[in-house]
Amino acid sequence: MSKVWFITGSSRGFGRRFAEAALSRGDKVAATARNADSLADLAAAHGDAVLPLTLDVTDKAAATAAVRKAHEHFGRLDVILNNAGHGHFGMVEELAEQEIRGQFETNVLGALWVTQAALPYLRAQGSGHIVMLSSMLGVAAFPNTGAYTASKAALEGLSDSLSQEVAAFGIKVTIVEPGAFSTEFAAASASSAPLPAYDGVREAVNAGFANMPLPDPSGVGAALLKVVDADNPPLRVFFGSHPLQVVQSVYVERLTTWEEWAEVSAEAGAGAGAGQS
């Protein structure tokens, strides 16, 4: 049986490729974008299988209305794909209030509003798959990525808890963690006004990222279809081979540090009285 998808951020990048992959095999897609006109070509190519919707995911009421409209139109929702997001980069000291708020409004709260709107329908039908588009940077931080990393780390924690809460309702959750790809993401990202004090750090980071592999994103759609079709899909999955190399070293370093400081950890928990967290 074909699946019905609700995909945010469908106008370009991964979102467009995910939508095209689903539609190419006969699935139906409620495709959202800030401007539904950007979805006209998708609708023209696939006809009634596409429901184009204008949606700014930071608007909770609009997210609720869009999910309701998609459910009314198709009669069910099988895959909720929280893909909409953007990147903002800068050293932590450089981040302006509106910049960090904007990262969380879109990358975390936008996904939350869509998920909350969809959950009553998924619980009622006893099935569904919520896919959160995170990033390798949700588990590995670098200089200049603080705002984006913080938003994706928050999304990961939210999604992990969600997966445990909804499992009994037959609902699955997957966090997709892509590495860098050759997409429009970098061009669409923003940066904070630089402080000269960090010029040396910035140059070192840029030099380190200069040789990062940038695979073509043509394979991401087929990869996601395998995830959503799996009987036992993963809670987390990398897209691209580079993230595994990076994150393995990150976790080795974390485990080593925790073990080295285990005596202090035990000392902290050895006090008398009721436990506190």
CA distance to 4, 77, 185, 240, per residue, from 127 (Å): 12, 9, 32, 28
Query: Would you say 10 and 37 are in contact if contact means Cβ atoms under 8 Å apart?
Result: no
Q: How far apart are CA 33 and CA 9, in angstroms?
A: 5
Query: Would you say 39 and 15 are in contact if contact means Cβ atoms under 8 Å apart?
Result: no
Within 10 angstroms of residue 138's Cβ, the number of other Cβ atoms is 27
Return left, alpha or beta for 122; rule: phi > 0 is left, psi -120 to 50 is alpha, else beta. Answer: alpha
> Phi first, then psi: what are they for 133, rounded to 5°?
-90, 105
- Write out the catalytic residue numbers: 134, 148, 152
Q: Would you say how long the chain is, in residues?
A: 277
Q: How far apart are CA 75 and CA 7, in angstroms?
A: 16
